[in-house]
Structure 1
Amino acid sequence: MRIFSALLIGMIFGVGIAISGMANPAKVLNFFDIAGTWDPSLIFVMGGALVTTAIGYRLVFGARAAPLLDKSFIVPTSKVIDARLVGGSALFGVGWGIAGFCPGGAIPALGLGYSQTFIFVAAMIGGIVIARTLQMTILKPAAA
């Protein structure tokens, strides 16, 4: 049931990304081109997502002690703003601005079959592997 619900939620998210045009990197890049072909529609997509999320969190966390298909909610507990958070956020933003894709938009865009999408997703997976390898070898997490 958990896998089915994750698949269903992922499909709904992907349809939303496709309908909003966020699977099209040109549309995203036009949002960043303030002096040229600026397209402000991304602001409305993000605003709609924030409003929906805020309402959803309020309803779900107010009504339930645990999710339907798990033992507890998994939410971030750290409120620390450190170099890893800032650096990762900056790297994400730069990559998004260069490629016009973020992971949430790239995965549904794979269905369009464009080679640039496959290249982006392959590079993203490579980056994840490199980051995890570095994290495990250089940072060596503290033993519990």
Structure 2
Amino acid sequence: MLKDMFNSLCAAVDGDEQKVRKLESIGFLHAGLVMLLLRLDSPAGYTCRVSCSKLLEIPSQVAEFSSKALPVILLTWRAKTIVANMIWLVEEGNELDEENRLQHLLDSCETSSALSKRTKVDLPSTLNHPEETKIFFNGQLGRPVPLKLKAREVSANED
């Protein structure tokens, strides 16, 4: 799901390479009173990177509230900041920052069209080719194989 959100963000910025490098999609995993933050980005362009925060526990006892609640609140605030930055990045107009101004100046000085720079990134969606799923097993490329497991019945007399 993070990859699908990331692909939607990439489409929203029209695959602009500089913006795609800065994009992130986030998600929370909750299990009982434990949570962690997942972040997906593509800093190099050829693959996506998933990173996760450490597990944080929401306190169940009032005595633990002061020591355990603040990190949870800060993690949530960090996620809100990431989302706000992504909204700003996607909705940003054609405003040029310092790096873009320099690149624009360099591009205007070039006389050869052979030195064109690739500015769009195309990351394949996970939904497009589900039948082409590839897995690696012991370092070898393989295909998913259905497993059949035989379970034996255990009688009440066996221990």
> TM-score, with normalisation over the residues of structure 1?
0.28
More strand by share: 2
Larger radius of gyration: 2
Q: Per chain length, whose mean CA-contact separation is higher, i.e. which structure has more relative contact order (CA < 8 Å, sep 6+)?
A: 1
- With structure 2 as the length reference, what TM-score do the two structures score? 0.26
